[in-house]
Amino acid sequence: MGKRMDAAELGAWRGFLATHARLVRELDEELRAAHGLPLSSYDVLTTLESAPGRRLRMRDLADEVVLSRSGLTRLVDRLGREGLVTREECEEDARGAFAVLTDAGARALADARPTHHDGVRTRFLDALEGEDATRLRELWARIDT
């Protein structure tokens, strides 16, 4: 029990944390500066965009973007105030609510996407070599189970 981390393991873990912190901070700042859109909002908008009917139950959306329910309630409030998302009630379950991407939301996303994609590419994807991307994707899948 409690096998020590060797140097490679320690580097893999601490690098993971440090890289994430730095990248997310930079990408968030970049997105806010260029489009007034925080990364967390961008994340919600893309998730909704790729959902069937551009809509998702609050619960499922919270899971997808890894946010607490209350956190998502507030985030959707903010996006609603800007007209990027609306709420719709759920027919099958009267407790439930959908968050729905509006046309304005889709446009805001289309505007912001090039900036963000470039940012991710230069800071992250460009460092991937050979089969790195595939291996990483498989790694996250293994961890997720």
Partner DNA sequence: GGAATATCGTTGCACTTACAACTACAATAC
Partner DNA sequence: GTATTGTAGTTGTAAGTGCAACGATATTCC
The separation between CA 25 and the C-alpha centre of its own chain, rounded to angstroms, equals 13
Question: What is the DSSP code (8-state) at residue 3?
Answer: P
CB of 22 to a second copy, least distance (A): 6
Question: What is the DSSP code (8-state) at residue 128?
Answer: -
Q: Under a CB-based contact definition with an 8 Å cutoff, are residues 85 and 79 in contact?
A: yes
Question: What is the DSSP code (8-state) at residue 55?
Answer: E
- DSSP H or E stretch at residue 57: strand 55-57
Is 35 a binder of DNA (CB under 7 A)? no
Other C-beta atoms lying within 10 Å of the C-beta of residue 119: 19
The site string for a second copy over 39-58 (x = CB under 8 A, - otherwise) reads ----x---------------
Please name which of 114, 99, 125, 122 lies closest in space to residue 37, comparing C-alpha atoms: 114
What, of DNA, a second copy, none, does residue 94 touch, CB below 5 to 8 Å by kind?
DNA
> Which of 34, 35, 47, 90 forms a contact with DNA (CB under 7 A)?
90
CB of 11 to a second copy, least distance (A): 3
Is 95 a binder of DNA (CB under 7 A)? yes
Which parts of 108-137 interact with DNA (CB under 7 A)?
A: none
Contacts to a second copy by CB under 8 A? 1-6, 8-9, 11-13, 15-25, 43, 66, 114, 117-118, 120-121, 123-125, 127-128, 132-137, 139-144
